[in-house]
């Protein structure tokens, strides 16, 4: 017969293998600490969190019903372009941070020369209608002269006077000083039913573990302001009026070494970066939430500055 302590604490106790004992609190009549010996070994368990732990384990064993839909259907893509292409083939597309420049280590001439290899060039080759936004006035002007449809603007405060079917924010959210304000502004530029496609480095990339073990310092981009993982970024999106619908892990390139690729095959949270697709949260009428306020139409070559 199970011991009295096991019955009061509501955790399973083998009928013959149990030798429970407790540090008994005579005043409250409850066990503050419980130790059980099982045939499989000895476990030390605190009575305060035992019930919650067993409930969590039971829920996990029943399946993933309690997990968000986007987290229960995670995929892995070889490259981010393969996923982005699904959302930019039709409709109007807005590409944020299109120059993708490292201004502290690369000159504007080098950025311009490498632009044909950037994400914007890929989107331009797939989408029939794409507009790029970046705040580097000199770089935008140079590319406009080459025939690119770019606008010089701050992604946090821009008002382009139009809406888009898809907004692509490739590796930009981690650069922003006010990501929440930026996300709210991007939502104003989405058409009803439009999609926001975000990519960002993974805070738990396995390479960072080796960097910390070797140098006691992670590898940090000189212009980054924050780290994200799928949970924290999903929470930020929800707070900014979005609903996440898809998560896709993006692995490191195989040329970076097997020791950087193999751990992610065992645990997906070790992947180099990830992609999240979200849409404006439903307002109860079947459409995403929209912001009131008039918008000003700007020509394709306009230069939009942050208000002082």
The full 3-state SS of 234-274, as one line of letters, equals HHHHHHCCEEEEEEEEECCCHHHCHHHHHHHHHCHHHCCEE
Higher pLDDT, 289 or 223: 223
What span, in angstroms and rounded, lies between the C-alpha atoms of 136 and 123?
Answer: 20
pLDDT band per the 50, 70, 90 thresholds, residue 106: low
- What is the mean predicted confidence (pLDDT) over 258-272? 76
pLDDT digits (tens, 9 = 90+) for 43-61: 444 444 666 666 666 665 5
What number does CATH give the domain 70-280?
A: 3.40.50.150
Say if residues 164 and 91 touch (Cβ distance below 8 Å). Answer: yes
Whole-number Å distance between alpha carbons of 244 and 255: 32
Q: Is the pLDDT of residue 306 over 60?
A: no
Q: What is the pLDDT of residue 56?
A: 62
State the average pLDDT over residues 136-140.
Answer: 88
Domain ranges of the chain: 4-62, 70-280
Q: What is the mean pLDDT of the chain?
A: 74
Tokens, residue 212: 């910390």
Residues 158-191: tens digit of each pLDDT: 999 999 999 999 999 998 999 999 999 999 999 9
Name residue 231's beta-bridge partners: none
Q: Give the pLDDT band of residue 207 (cuts 50, 70, 90).
A: confident
Banded pLDDT at 251 (limits 50, 70, 90): confident
Range 5-24 average pLDDT: 41
What's the average model confidence in pLDDT over 205-227?
82
**241 vs 6: CA distance, rounded Å:** 47
pLDDT bin (cut points 50, 70, 90) of residue 124 is very high
Q: What percent of the chain has pLDDT over 90?
A: 38
Of residues 294 and 270, more confidence is placed in 270
Whole-angstrom CA distances from 26 to 6, 9, 22, 23, 29 are 17, 16, 11, 9, 5
Model confidence at 28, pLDDT cuts 50, 70, 90, reads very low
Per-residue tokens: 240: 């900014």
DSSP state of 282: B
């Amino acid at each position: 017969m199970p011991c009295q302590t096991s019955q009061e604490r509501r955790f399973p106790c083998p009928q013959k293998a149990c030798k429970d004992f407790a540090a008994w609190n005579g005043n409250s009549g409850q066990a503050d600490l419980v130790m059980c010996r099982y045939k499989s070994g000895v476990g030390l368990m605190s009575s305060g969190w035992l019930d919650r732990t067993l409930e969590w384990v039971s829920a996990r064993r029943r399946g993933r019903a309690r997990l968000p839909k986007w987290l229960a259907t995670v995929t892995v893509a070889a490259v981010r372009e393969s996923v982005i292409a699904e959302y930019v083939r039709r409709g109007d597309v807005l590409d944020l941070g299109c120059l993708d420049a490292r201004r502290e280590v690369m000159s504007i001439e080098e950025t311009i020369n490498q632009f044909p290899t950037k994400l914007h060039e890929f989107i331009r080759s797939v989408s029939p209608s794409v507009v790029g936004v970046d705040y580097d006035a000199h770089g935008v002007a140079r590319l406009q002269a080459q025939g690119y449809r770019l606008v010089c603007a701050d992604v946090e405060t821009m008002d382009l006077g139009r809406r888009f079917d898809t907004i692509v924010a490739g590796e930009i959210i981690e650069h922003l000083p006010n990501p929440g304000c930026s996300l709210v502004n991007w939502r104003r530029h989405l058409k009803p039913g439009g999609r926001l496609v975000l990519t960002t480095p993974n805070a738990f990339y396995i390479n960072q573990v080796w960097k910390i073990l070797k140098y006691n310092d992670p590898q940090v981009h000189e212009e980054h302001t924050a780290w994200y993982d799928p949970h924290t970024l999903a929470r930020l999106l929800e707070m900014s009026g979005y609903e996440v619908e898809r998560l896709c892990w993006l692995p490191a390139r195989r040329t970076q070494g097997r020791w950087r690729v193999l751990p992610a095959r065992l645990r997906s949270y070790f992947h180099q970066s990830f992609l999240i697709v979200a849409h404006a949260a439903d307002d109860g009428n079947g459409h995403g939430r929209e912001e009131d306020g008039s918008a000003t139409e700007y020509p394709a070559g306009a230069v939009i500055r942050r208000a002082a």
